[in-house]
Amino acid sequence: MISRYISYRFELFRFEIKHWLAQLSGLSLFLVGILGSAIPVVFYLTLLGFGMLFENKLTINEAIFFAATVLLFQTVCLGLCKAAITGQRFIAFTLSLTDKAWLAKLTDILLASLCNPLLLLHIILIGSVNIKYWLNFPHMFLLLLLQILFSIMAFISAKQLYVVLALLFVAAQTELIPSIEVGLLIPLLLLALFQLMPKISLMFKSQLRHKVTAYSAYNFWLDFWRQHSRIPLLVLAVTGISLLISHIFVQQRPDLAPFVFLFCGQLLVLVVSALPLELSRQIQNNQHFYALFAIFPAFNLIKNLFLVVAGLLVFLFFAFISASLGMALVHFSMLLGCFYIIKTRSNYLIFAWLFSFVFVVGISSL
């Protein structure tokens, strides 16, 4: 019975991943073809970073920055695969298959491990070192503990993780951290604080107060993106990773800055396009519910306005990092074109994006 349950969960995981890739259609094949060659490079750089961290060859700020990047990468990977790991679409049926809670948790851990290669890599590296030398690098065990906690929290509250990571990246830019160990204790303390805050607030609440206000279209879409924050947070995380990698690369090769930021800008166009795709999927799955609200004034206008503002914020950040407001406006214009294509003919998104890529290359060469 146990082996059959685990086998079923693995098959469900594979089915969900295939279903997710099928929804992306030709886009997934294109991304694998373009970005697939970068995957070995990412693992090589991660392995190199772990090695330098083992041997204390990184400064305190560099070590904290590397740890934050590793944690961000694994959080994004788990966020993308969360629905497939838990079998969210068939959760009611899956829960009915067994009354053993430990079996369900064990299977979740096994599937999450498949989507968290950096954690497995870290465990293998620590295991390859003789036990008598383990006391020489306590910071590696702190990082391993953080990776495990972040893997668990990715299924409980991803919002807290992104807040902690943002603060950790800020801390990595300061000179206030006395040691690597102290720097790695910061996210542990922040996670503990986030877990205690709701309990502390309940202790000081003497009574519940309700305030009735008008529920506008603005409030509706604001609550919608709060409840479906997984995709916006992933878009924000991928945006940060893309701009971070581009900035670091340009620091090494400033002569390639125009080409690097051109590709980064168009990649962000593709990433931000996930927002209306997620919105369309939600509306399609709940057509009758959204039809009730469509009669309210400015309902669709506010919906589109949220998407445009999100894209504008991304490319303002892009303009700050790339120091090119003109190219940021060009990429933002291409994003608006992709939004229109998604609204009218979503199947042609990849072709519209390729056309916009050629158009941006043409403009940049003038």
**Sole residue written with tokens 């068939």:** 90
Whether residues 169 and 270 fall in one domain? no
Please give the pLDDT value at position 261. 85
What CA–CA distances, in Å, run from 109 to 106, 142, 152, 168? 5, 20, 9, 26
Instruction: Decide: 126 and 147 in contact? Cβ < 8 Å.
Output: no
pLDDT digits (tens, 9 = 90+) for 87-96: 777 777 777 7
Within a domain: 162: yes
Number of domains, the chain:
2
Within a domain: 290: yes
Band the pLDDT of 26: cuts 50, 70, 90: very low
Within a domain: 210: no
Within a domain: 193: yes
Please give the pLDDT value at position 205. 56
| pTM flag (> 0.95) | no
Whether residues 25 and 90 fall in one domain? yes
- Which of the listed residues 170, 203, 236 is the one where a domain comes to its end? 203
Specify the range with the lowest mean pLDDT, choosing from 88-97, 210-219, 280-289: 210-219
CA dihedral 119, 122, 128, 132 (to 10 degrees): -110
Q: What share of the chain is helix, strand, coil (3-state, %, to 5)?
A: 85, 0, 15
Whether residues 238 and 191 fall in one domain? no
116 φ, ψ to 5°?
A: -130, 65
> If 0-12 CB within 10 Å is exposed, 13-18 middle and 19+ buried, where does residue 314 land?
buried
Q: Write the DSSP symbol of residue 56.
A: T
Which residue from 220, 223, 329, 338 is spatially nearest to 274, judged by alpha carbons?
338
Which of 341 and 41 is assigned the larger pLDDT? Answer: 341
Within a domain: 213: no
The whole-chain average pLDDT of the chain stands at 78
Q: Write the DSSP symbol of residue 212.
A: -
pLDDT digits (tens, 9 = 90+) for 119-165: 888 888 888 888 888 888 888 888 889 998 888 888 877 778 888 88
- Which of the listed residues 203, 238, 260 is the one where a domain comes to its end? 203
Band the pLDDT of 181: cuts 50, 70, 90: confident
Band the pLDDT of 28: cuts 50, 70, 90: very low
Which of 225 and 314 is assigned the larger pLDDT? Answer: 314
* Domain coverage including residue 255: 220-364
Please give the pLDDT value at position 183. 85
